[in-house]
Structure 1
């Protein structure tokens, strides 16, 4: 039983698809299938139920995957720990976030000072980030929602107000602040389900007993203010997005509800080894958000 076979099995088990696993591993599908067959022969039990081209982990495979995940994670941690002990000023940091906008400023100051650290980013919902942490696919998560798990630790980066953004000519634009009842029947721009903006607006509308009317679901923060300015709808936006260029095209209004806030946190798994590079990046992000900030334009 060699490590390569175990890594092949782990990938196929997670995807439950030999073709996609072969593409991810960059190996020929017949070679991957032969490796799996040899592993099952060595173990003496089938690890998958096969139905034509479809495969599913069976009870033997499910039990074996738990052990393989644990063993490979220990080996990966050991290799990283030795690299860190040897003082290598390099490494890879993998980070998942609901919105990458929160990372742009910390990256602007981190990357020049750590030229040998490879930072890799991905975008995911809270559920997706939890899965990535569980699978060891990422080191850190930047989340605006709690990530479930007793082994997940987090630190608050930012507790900020969330504003309502409206077109400059909107009926509410001159109000300064609004109540939730003022939003009845208004079209809203928000994210797909699973992301914090969607969870927040659904929670606020449910509390007020209002029906939410969504006209746009998307993740392109760069075009959000253009869509608002075009009159398509309204949106809830955190104060982190409050910049001089956006305040000229849309109007930012206070929402008279104490729950209209966003808590941004960095999360990591406590039961796995966090590389020196990942620790440096985590600490840098914490320092960035905890540093005194100047006043924002509005």
Structure 2
């Protein structure tokens, strides 16, 4: 048994069990990869892969159990390298942040600015994706930290920390009937609504609030991006419901912002990372900057 055999097995799910692609990732030919796995199965005395002819369908029960151990070995390898770099006070490296557009634009600029002052040698990679995909990026080691509001469910593998609490607001053009009226969910429900796509930026709390009152949501447009919603509110398509942090008085003075904190439950943006992953000094500092930014934010 050797690391090359175990690494091939680890890569198979990432390549949809395409042995040729897994072989490419470890710089060997497919025939050699096939032989590596065959020798491992012979050593263990039982198949690790379910096959139909030459096609690999997935893992056998033994293969699934072996994969759990391989994940631990891979994590240990990553931790050993990171610990060694940290021990040498290495101030270079890469920080991979998985987040949504809203957090990237409205939460992260100031923490990243402060982080860059402390660690100018660290390269920052920001991956914007859906909340569900953001967590998967952590598990696939394609992100060091995830930041989002939705889909951040408790997991024994994740360390999850609350970052900041916020509320939704309604936005309408100047002169709109709601601009000077007392806003209720019933009044909002009488207009076409523009808000976040399901799974984004507290959309679930919006749905819960209307459902609790027995009201139907007439969603004219859904988007992952607050700026897109604001654009179409300006075109007169309906009333926008966005994160309070997304309303910028300087840039959005043509829109009226209406606080909905008393109508829609507040949302919590959280950060997460893998519990068993060793956190280098620069990542711990970045987490501290995020948490400090959250504490210092107004209750938008």
**Aligned residue for 1:8?**
8
Please give the alpha-carbon distance, in whole angstroms, between the structure 2 residues aligned to 1:183 and 1:151: 40
**Matched residues in 2 for 1:227 and 1:24: separation?**
46
Q: Which residue of 2 aligns with 1:233?
A: 238
Alignment of 1:290 with 2:295, yes or no, is yes
Query: C-alpha displacement at 1:279, in angstroms?
Result: 0.8
Question: Counterpart of 1:98?
Answer: 100
Aligned to 1:220: 225
Closer, same or farther in 2 for the Cα pair 1:57/1:167, shift >3 Å? farther
- Structure 1 segment 45-124 matched on structure 2, within 5 A: 45-51=46-52, 53=55, 55-99=57-101, 100-101=104-105, 102-124=107-129
1:47-104 Cα deviation digits (max 9, x unpaired): 2223364622221221111110011101211211111011111222222223322223
2:252 aligned with 1:247? yes
Change (3 A) 1:284 1:24: farther
What is the distance in 2 between the residues matched to 1:58 and 1:29? Answer: 24
Structure 2 residue runs without a partner (length 5+): none
Q: 1:141 to 1:217 in 2, by over 3 A?
A: same
Q: Is residue 13–residue 65 contact of structure 1 (8 Å, CA) maintained in 2? A: no
User: TM-score, with normalisation over the residues of structure 2?
Assistant: 0.84
Q: 1:153 maps to what in 2? A: 159
- Asked if 2 retains the 8 angstrom alpha-carbon contact of 1:164 and 1:255, the reply is yes
State the Cα RMSD in Å: 3.0
* Structure 1 unaligned regions, length at least 5: none
Shift of 1:207: 1.4
| TM-score relative to the length of structure 1 | 0.84
Q: Render the CA deviation track for 1:231-289: whole Å, top value 9, x for unaligned.
A: 22333222221213443232211226354422222222333311222112111222233
List aligned pairs for 1:187-206, cutoff 5 A.
187-206=192-211
> 1-side partners of 2:238 and 2:37: how far apart?
53
